[in-house]
Structure 1
Amino acid sequence: MNRLVYIKMGVKLFQALRFEKVVPEDRDKINKLTENTWMWGDYIPEYFDKWVKEGLFIKAVSDGEILGIIHARIFEDFTWFEGIRVKQEIRRKGVGKALAKKAMELSPKKIFRLAANEKNVPSVQLAKALGFKEIDMFYFIDGKVYDIKELINEFKLKEVKANLKNVKGFVNDWVWYPITKYSGKIYSNGELTILETNPPFLVNGYLENIRHMSKNFTSNSEGFIVFELKLNV
């Protein structure tokens, strides 16, 4: 998985950047790399064991130091990129771009997708620099965790056959899919229309203080841009 990439950090020139699969022994180094991603830390430590076993979990290494990581989930007809992290001191030096290109090279699929927080300018710029195109937008609203059964009882929802033609896609487990791929149940009470996903995906209406995804903007939501790249498809 080696590839010659040289990264300059201040006056220091790193040796050739190597790309290798993340192994269980990398846990502490990756926890250190990601500990300050946000004020509260990062979700990657929670998913570390799962990512080591599933998909492509790749690290960029130089002089024995992990400078960046990326995880790719492989699905039937596309690859989903997530968890792109780069050592703070060398961001915008090409490490993230090189990691994504290596993941594309190793993936058996030719369609790649990812979601970037609309306020995360470096991630949005990286996606565009790689040739990804914006295809959709979704919103995350945090709050009390309800499963679909609790929502059905709370809001008196019933299973319906709703028309989803005005919906481009939906999100399940933080992965975006075209709406044509949805095969689950649809619930509604006339005001709310909800898909049976994790967390629930709201098609119509407004939910307050309940954790869910939605296709609609609300004042307390985080917006995510969905990007897609097709290679010779």
Structure 2
Amino acid sequence: MRIRVAQYFDKDKILKFCKDTFEWGDYIAIVLDFWLADPSGILLVADIPDSRTFQYKPVAISHISVCQNHLLWIEGIRVDKVHRNKGIATSLLQYMVKYGIKNGLCESCALVSYDNINSKKLFEKHGFSQSCIYAYYNVKIKKRLEYSVSHIIIKYACFDDINLICAYLNNSKFYLEKNNRYFNNWKFYKLENTFNCIYNLIDSKKVFLILDENSTICGLSIINILDDVDAFYNKPLLQVCYLDCMNYCIYSKTIYLILDTLFNYNKHKNVQIFVNGSIDLHHLFNNNDNYNVDTFEKFIVYCKKL
């Protein structure tokens, strides 16, 4: 077996073993062209010689990205069903970890479905630990709703708020309990409680503050508004990428406020919500004909120091 960088001529052979990975199919066909051309990442192929022709053929893939804060992100490990349980996934993972070490990166992370027992065993066997658990809701909204939310408001954060935000995070039990990662493009980045990190997020117009009746911060959210077509869902959508509230009782109110304030009913059809796995939002959407939880899944962020 050899591991190499994938080429465009591998595409059809890769897609043959990446069709029915999960019950719902697989997302590899959607992202494969992007991964092949990704300047900040590498699509790896593991191939073996064919027993008849002796020509090498792809039997496994994985994608790695070098991200901000010296982070190596691992995703999309796939092995042809015929060649599973032969140590190929292990070889790929070891190769990727060595790549991160060789290139001076500090941490390697991956996102694994909570129910994917084999992947969990693979990462844990090689020294990865569970950093945090996130729940993912993909919610379809049929029509505009009228909300009655009192005592709190939501607003864009500005640069003058940076010190207040840092102070809030310093005292946030939620943040201090390792729930300090935010979603972006199916990766989870550390929300660093530093001036530069908060400044950059505010500059990108992604930070929203939840304020009480005294204009005191009682919550913080990172929002991504995709007005262009999203690659995965082929439509514009709203993403709640991080949500930290001082009290659990205001999570529901905050979700209502976000939808009422930021959801564009003329453009958006979906809202994706990522929250700590211990927070259950089903009660917001159950028994309501205006909502439909299209997808719900829990994910584990696995991390390893390099």
Q: State the TM-score, normalizing by the size of structure 1.
A: 0.78
TM-superposed CA distance for 1:193, in Å, is 4.5
Over 3 Å counting, the alpha-carbon distance change for 1:31 and 1:189 in structure 2 is farther
More moved, 42-51 vs 86-95: 86-95
In structure 2, what is the equivalent of residue 174 of structure 1?
Answer: 186
Q: Which residue type is aligned with residue 104 of structure 1?
A: V
Query: SS state of the match for residue 31, structure 1?
Result: helix
Query: C-alpha separation between the residues in 1 aligned to 2:97 and 2:28?
Result: 21
Query: SS state of the match for residue 73, structure 2?
Result: strand
TM-superposed CA distance for 1:192, in Å, is 7.2
Q: Which residue type is aligned with residue 154 of structure 2?
A: L
TM-superposed CA distance for 1:159, in Å, is 2.5
In structure 2, what is the equivalent of residue 45 of structure 1?
Answer: 29
* Larger RCO (alpha carbons 8 Å, 6+ apart): 2
Superposition pairs of residues 147-162 of structure 1, within 5 angstroms: 157-160=154-157, 162=165
TM-superposed CA distance for 1:223, in Å, is 1.2
Superposition pairs of residues 64-75 of structure 1, within 5 angstroms: 64-75=56-67
TM-superposed CA distance for 1:60, in Å, is 0.5
Query: SS state of the match for residue 140, structure 2?
Result: coil
Query: C-alpha separation between the residues in 1 aligned to 2:83 and 2:222?
Result: 41
Q: Which residue type is aligned with residue 140 of structure 1?
A: Y
Superposition pairs of residues 1-233 of structure 1, within 5 angstroms: 17-54=1-38, 55-63=41-49, 64-76=56-68, 77-107=70-100, 108=103, 109-144=105-140, 157-160=154-157, 162=165, 163-164=168-169, 165=172, 166-167=174-175, 168=179, 169-180=181-192, 181=197, 183-184=201-202, 185-188=207-210, 193-197=220-224, 199-203=239-243, 204=245, 205-206=251-252, 207=255, 210-216=271-277, 217-218=279-280, 219=282, 221-231=296-306
Q: State the TM-score, normalizing by the size of structure 2.
A: 0.61
Larger Rg: 2
In angstroms, what is the RMSD of aligned CA positions?
Answer: 2.8
Residue deviations 1:27-86, cap 9 Å, x none?
111111110112332111111111112211101000122111110011131100000111
- Gap regions ≥5 residues in structure 2: 50-55, 213-217, 226-238, 246-250, 257-269, 283-292
Query: SS state of the match for residue 183, structure 2?
Result: strand
* Cα contact 1:192–1:202 (8 A) shared by 2: no
Query: C-alpha separation between the residues in 2 aligned to 1:65 and 1:131?
Result: 30
* Cα contact 1:173–1:197 (8 A) shared by 2: no
* Cα contact 1:21–1:59 (8 A) shared by 2: yes
Over 3 Å counting, the alpha-carbon distance change for 1:230 and 1:158 in structure 2 is same
TM-superposed CA distance for 1:142, in Å, is 1.1
- Runs of 4+ with >6 A deviation: none
- Gap regions ≥5 residues in structure 1: 1-16
Q: Which residue type is aligned with residue 91 of structure 1?
A: R
Aligned length: 209
- Percent identity between matched residues is 22
* Cα contact 1:171–1:197 (8 A) shared by 2: no
